[in-house]
Amino acid sequence: MDRFSSAEEIEIEVGPGGKVSLGAPQQKWFEGDSPEIMQMARFAGQEMMAIQKSDDEPGVFELHYLGLVGTGFHSMADAKDAAPAFAREVFAYLSQMISDE
């Protein structure tokens, strides 16, 4: 879907940069060199990182997305399982920051 109309009848088109970020695989975790410490995936075209909180707390994991951090996960798998709900919560939180005034 490269073009659509919003509820406000605004015509929205996916631009060149959006075609790259939205065209990339979504919600597919990239494990990299240290998958037990950090993994990355795209949610709604934006990168999310699941990461071990610190070397001092190897049993605590966080999710980082659009400048917000979800924490308290007890494993990488727990963090990744929570990622879709976390992404939705981030968008809900950010949408509250938008005013029509």
The structural domains of the chain, with segments of one domain joined by +, span 26-95
- 8 and 59 Cβ atoms separated by less than 8 Å: no
Question: Which of the residue ranges 4-18, 31-45, 59-73, 80-94 would you say has the lowest mean pLDDT?
Answer: 4-18
**β-bridge mates for residue 12, sequence order:** 4
Compute the chain's Rg from CA coordinates.
Answer: 16
CA dihedral 61, 96, 7, 27 (to 10 degrees): -10
20-67 pLDDT, tens per residue? 999 999 999 999 999 999 999 999 999 999 999 999 989 999 999 999
User: Residue 46's closest CA among 66, 68, 76?
Assistant: 66
- 59 and 74 Cβ atoms separated by less than 8 Å: yes
